Amino acid sequence: MELKKEEITALRELAKEYMEVATLPCQREKMELWKAFNRHEGTRPMVLIDQLPWNELNQEGELTCVVEDSMFRQVEFFLRSTLYKWRHFPVDMVVEPFVTIPYAAANSGYGLKIQETTLSTDKTNSVVSHAFQNQLKTEEDLKKIKDMVITLDREKSALWLEEAQEIFDGILPVRQAGGVFIRLGIWDELAELMGVDSIYYDLIDRPEFIHKIMEKMTHSALEGIRQVNELGLVNTSENLCHCSHIYTDELLPDFGAGKEANTKNAWNFGLAQLFTAVSPDVTEEFEVPYISRLAEQYGMLYYGCCDRLDDRLDIVQKIPNVKKISCSPWSHREEFAEGLRKDIIMSNKPTPAFLAGDTMDIDVIAEDLKRTMAAARKNNVALEMILKDISTVRYQPQRLTEWADCAMKLVQE
């Protein structure tokens, strides 16, 4: 789709504003601080905010996109959303002086399509309730699981890059990387193909059947990883992994300074969120052997999300290349900090529930953050606090700014 003159003008104006921010000296200073933090040099705790209820934040039109073309609309939203965060709650975010255009690539996935019923109370919000249909009930159903097939449209990729370079010429440097990202959370994918209840029953009644499913899906993911490496579709200069900045001397020592496009030079993240409700022994038997085979293909790994992990840290710390582990609101943070190896970062997820009530009590938020910081300090572990999974701020965007100001004041003290 050919862009209209007014769309190109909008993109160029956004790019100018973006570059004004990206070339500020503080961006490199913050990048160096993240590198020191990721080296465990005893820096202060780091703070980020991500995964936002964008539908509630566009009250002044700052996020209103005008580009119709789907790929360049994504670029436009990246520029608008980055500028929005910088203006309202920058915390420790780093804005890099270039934009990345993906390759035109696709992943066939595991061969099954999600079948579900959804329910939402707010039609403008993408956060909905899901009831998934079980598509893997019998041994015969195992045949539905296919190896991933990665495809690359080189002609379209070249066209995207050429168009972006023309649009942003003289304003914003353009890079091309990525296009396919294979996340290592097989259990989260399986929950959408079977439904959580069905998985729980089969873990008890048919454990060998579950092992067969995991074996096939792990093989599929490994095949996908092999192909993205062959096609060079790994973005090794991506500076975020699961909402955490990943600047390191080994893999990403500077802006856009990633190594060869291979998963061995990249980060990835793994998770098994439904295992919050199972025993640590189940995690050890049904997650660690499979995630380990996938994690070996990557340079570094972030593990966990909303799952509780304080009661099984000894198990998940066996996963190869793990560098950061999530301490969710469901984890006991004192026990988490005590059980964490000193070479792994405590990636705390402060509860977003404090921003979702009829009112927001900043004193309660401050005490909660202080408790987390005290646990990390007592056990001498590196701490980052990432406010994410924010479903609602009750259409009061200023709550995010207030949270950010509170958190930054505490960590800088």
**Among 320, 255, 268, residue whose Cα is nearest residue 289:** 320
**DSSP code of residue 168:** T
| SS3 labels along 43-55 | CCCEEEECCCCHH
Cβ–Cβ under 8 Å, residues 110 and 143: no
Pairwise CA distance, residues 55 & 35, whole Å: 33
Instruction: Please tell me the predicted confidence (pLDDT) of residue 126.
Output: 60
Instruction: Please tell me the predicted confidence (pLDDT) of residue 161.
Output: 98
- Predicted TM-score (pTM) of the model is 0.95
> Backbone phi, then psi, for 383, in 5-degree steps?
-125, 130
Sequence-ordered list of residues with C-beta below 8 angstroms from that of 162, at least 6 positions apart, any chain: none
Query: Bridge partners of 46?
Result: 384
- For the structural domain made of 5-412, what CATH number should be given? 3.20.20.210
Sequence-ordered list of residues with C-beta below 8 angstroms from that of 77, at least 6 positions apart, any chain: 63, 65
pLDDT(199) > 90: yes
Is 365 buried (19+), middle (13-18) or exposed (0-12) by CB count in 10 A? buried
**pLDDT band for position 59 (cuts 50, 70, 90):** confident
What is the share, in percent, of the chain residues with pLDDT greater than 70?
98
Cβ–Cβ under 8 Å, residues 109 and 217: no
pLDDT (tens digit per residue) in 97-129: 999 999 999 999 999 888 777 776 666 666 677
Pairwise CA distance, residues 399 & 49, whole Å: 12
Q: What is the DSSP string of 194-245?
A: H-HHHHHHHHHH-HHHHHHHHHHHHHHHHHHHHHHHHHT---TT--EETTEE
